[in-house]
Structure 1
Amino acid sequence: MSFSPSPRPPRGPRRRSLLASAAGAALLVGCTGGSGSDDPGTGTSAADRVRARAARDSETLAERYAAVIAAHPGLAERLGPLREEVVRHAEAFGGVRAASPASPSVSARAAGPAARDSGAVPADEKGALALLADAERKLADRRAEALLDVPGESARLLASVAAAGAAHVFLLTEGDG
């Protein structure tokens, strides 16, 4: 009996596949929202702490998106849906603070390389998109690491939001290559 490798499946547009994955992750996030604890008998569990941090991280990221949109209104159409999804992530993790359109701590001032760490919005659109992509990438990586510390529902929620964040990175950097 001989084995012959199956032919390679046809490659569809990469963006369409990625967007379909992101849509699936968004659906999963919508289905898994809530603030129930994985271990209700212990008060504040590790899962509760991870979810609270994830909510805060998403709120901060939404504020960063708002600051970039305020500094670069021409990016609003591209970034608006991504920001809205980040706000939904915060809500799914139990976030209660409404993400403001622009945060005073994340100003729209022009800045150099240090801006990526300080939260300042670069003066050029490409730099502003890179700032958001870097923030999304770091957050997705942190969430993927946190999967090891939480059980069940919280892990599924973190995984789906981390996947959505990875999709955001792609969409933010699309066309940079």
Structure 2
Amino acid sequence: MGDEDTGTGGAVSLRHTSQLAGGELRQVRELLDAAFEGDFGDEDFEHALGGMHVLVHEDGELVAHGSVVQRRVLHGGLALRTGYVEAVAVRADRRRCGLGGTVMEAVEGVVARGYVLGALSASAAGARLYAGRGWRVWGGEVGVLGPGGPERLPEEEGSTYVWAPPGGGVLLDPTAGPLSFDWRNGDVL
């Protein structure tokens, strides 16, 4: 996907991490650091890499970002190929202009084309955006397949959202067991 007009005055591009030059990655990190007001660490940034990035530019400036990385989720005896959404952010002076929805529309396209499930962990500030787009709070337990075996992550319960792509996604049943995500640095101590 190349640049295209979004109707919001910006140009959207979709690129894999490997296609981003060092300066572009630095711009993404600077946007995320500013948007999350210092609450975005090195592990958070690492989690946003290795997949597809949605970049929104206005007048040559990066104003919004989101990424989708592949994760495996065990649920009900199945290993589900999951598009995990990371690092959704809009520059402070461009918030409430539809850019978050623009990013999520592109993110959802990535998930729909390549995965059976979308998942993310929402901040309180982002929850309304996701819920308004049909993402729903996972009503069951959340865990991780850690180095020592499965571990429950109760702090992720209530903030983990899931989305089934239309026509090809899976519908999850909280009574069938937890969502157990593959492990990555920072998930467990």
TM more than 0.5: no
| Structure with more strand by fraction | 2
Query: Structure 1-normalised TM-score?
Result: 0.28
Larger Rg: 1
| Structure with more helix by fraction | 1
